[in-house]
Amino acid sequence: MRSITADYGSRRLVERDIAEPPPPGPGEARLRIAAVGVCGTDRDLASFTAGEPPAGESFLVIGHEALAQVVECGADVAGLSPGDWVVPTVRRACPALCPQCAAGRRDLCLTLAFTERGIWRAHGYFTDYAVDRAGDLVPIPATLAEYGFLVEPLSVVEKAVSRALYVVQSPGRRALVLGLGPIGILAATVLSLRGFEVTVFSAESLDHPRARLLTIQNIRYTNTFGTGPADVIIEAAGSGELALAALRLLAPGGAMVVLGAREVVGSVPFLDLLVRNQTVAGIVNASRADFDAAVADLPRIPEPVRSGMIERFRFSDFGSTLYGNAGAAPKAVHMVWE
């Protein structure tokens, strides 16, 4: 079967013919992959600045934002049937089964020895078929299948928003989102659904097509940094400098969640943080509850936003989405079923 792989010998992305997975064992389901979205993590894999192949192998099948259909169930699978649409979760438990992994919170794994399908030491879904444990699959209604590949990135946003709402000590409902990528747009949308008055800051022009995905939801988009305090700040711009500057915009009792920033050298205002009871949190990956929240929120995202988020590509067009300029739409998706 076909697959798109990161080849650690040639350090290139390569389309490769690989063996089909074995039939599903007890508790497992065989999936036919319908579509796979790509994101910044995949671009990091393509440039070999992130990721690792499975132990003893020289390549990694990429793809972690998948939509699939169950085609066969092994013994002892309850609640899933052939024909069901599913979104696989990404992270798998660490071998030591740390207390968080044992409790079903692999997204909070304590040993960091987890695997992640399509990213870290486990093959992903940019291929025709896969086998997974049924418990690692999130069923979605057939009516949502058209946009099902948005569930995984949306699950990360759900975790960020729920973390912010868990720690925020302010009743204020002003939110600032940094970044106009898919995560920034989804974060602004979810915060708006939660009743926040949302502003998105990014560098793209005010009439950029992505900005329209916000303005049609009455979400404010600005190129001007520093417009008023925010009770919740979500950083989705991948800029440490911006994250550090945004700390000054956090309202008393506010919370900032960092999703994309890496390192930055600068002055951290710890005194302001403590005097103002502010919280800064980082998050990655998502729990099963976050996936469920994403499935619940997906139909609440206005249809023009969902459709405007997407640009569809053929299976083999990874050169344009991962090495080239994939176009104006925030989310590139490869259709595995042509």
Residue 236 lies near Zn ion (rule: CB under 5 A) = no
Instruction: Find the shortest distance in angstroms from Cβ 245 to Zn ion.
Output: 26
Instruction: Find the shortest distance in angstroms from Cβ 73 to Zn ion.
Output: 27
Q: 57: closest CA among 97, 95, 19, 101? A: 19
CB neighbours of residue 175 within 10 Å: 26
Burial 248-283 (b: 16+ CB within 10 A, else e): ebbbebbbbbbbbbeeeeeeeeeeebeebebbbeeb
What is the rounded distance in angstroms from the CA atom of residue 295 to the CA atom of residue 157?
12
Residue count (the chain):
338
Q: Kindly tell me which of 24 and 181 has the beta carbon lying closer to Zn ion.
A: 181
Residue 98 lies near Zn ion (rule: CB under 5 A) = yes
Q: Kindly tell me which of 125 and 201 has the beta carbon lying closer to Zn ion.
A: 125
Q: Kindly tell me which of 94 and 230 has the beta carbon lying closer to Zn ion.
A: 94
Residue 33 lies near Zn ion (rule: CB under 5 A) = no
Q: Kindly tell me which of 156 and 200 has the beta carbon lying closer to Zn ion.
A: 156
Burial 145-158 (b: 16+ CB within 10 A, else e): bbbbbbbbbbbbbb
Residue 41 lies near Zn ion (rule: CB under 5 A) = yes
Residue 332 lies near Zn ion (rule: CB under 5 A) = no
Residue 331: phi, psi to the nearest 5? -120, 120
The residue within the footprint of Zn ion, chosen from 33, 45, 86, 101 (CB under 5 A), is 101
Residue 46 lies near Zn ion (rule: CB under 5 A) = no
What is the rounded distance in angstroms from the CA atom of residue 229 to the CA atom of residue 251?
5
Q: Kindly tell me which of 24 and 148 has the beta carbon lying closer to Zn ion.
A: 148
Instruction: Find the shortest distance in angstroms from Cβ 90 to Zn ion.
Output: 8
Q: 306: closest CA among 144, 179, 160? A: 144
Q: Kindly tell me which of 86 and 98 has the beta carbon lying closer to Zn ion.
A: 98
Instruction: Find the shortest distance in angstroms from Cβ 182 to Zn ion.
Output: 9
Residue 67 lies near Zn ion (rule: CB under 5 A) = no
Instruction: Find the shortest distance in angstroms from Cβ 131 to Zn ion.
Output: 21
User: Which residues on adjacent β-strands are paired with residue 139?
Assistant: 86
What is the rounded distance in angstroms from the CA atom of residue 130 to the CA atom of residue 221?
40
Q: 92: closest CA among 74, 125, 117? A: 117
Q: Kindly tell me which of 41 and 278 has the beta carbon lying closer to Zn ion.
A: 41
Helices and strands (DSSP H and E) totals, the chain: 10, 19
For Zn ion, what does the binding mask look like between residues 102 and 141, x meaning CB under 5 A? -------x-x------------------------------
Cβ-contact 246, 266 below 8 angstroms = no
# residues near Zn ion by CB under 5 A: 8
The residue within the footprint of Zn ion, chosen from 94, 178, 283, 310 (CB under 5 A), is 94
Residue 3 lies near Zn ion (rule: CB under 5 A) = no
Interacting stretch for Zn ion, rule CB under 5 A, among 4-12, 100-108, 121-129, 268-276? 100-108
Q: Kindly tell me which of 47 and 111 has the beta carbon lying closer to Zn ion.
A: 111
Q: Which residues bind Zn ion (CB under 5 A)?
A: 39, 41, 65, 94, 98, 101, 109, 111
